[in-house]
Amino acid sequence: MNTTEYNQRIEKFDSQKMVDILKNFANDVKNAIELGQKAKQLPLQLFSKEIIVLGMGGSAIAGDTVRTITYAFEGFPYVIKVVRSYSFPK
């Protein structure tokens, strides 16, 4: 299979252009980090040191991703927990 045939197959089955989204993911993360670094810090005082992300299946992936990325930042003051449940944690 040559490149043209491969691309035609991808186009046939990837109507929502997910392959392109995945190819651009690293750039999207880089851009998000740059935007975050330029943003003004809000004078927000949280009462908890935990951030809880609720999600099931693919919806929990965003929480997993954010939790993993924040591990790379020393001194990140919050614990991120991802809850995969049909009910809120107590």
pLDDT tens digits for 30-78? 888 888 888 777 666 666 788 888 988 888 898 899 899 888 888 888 8
pLDDT of residue 83: 92
| CB within 8 Å of 61: residues ≥ 6 apart | 55
pLDDT of residue 7: 85
pLDDT of residue 43: 62
pLDDT of residue 44: 63
pLDDT of residue 35: 87
If one compares 41 and 20, the residue with the highest pLDDT of the two is: 20
Residue 23 near residue 7 (C-beta atoms within 8 A):
no
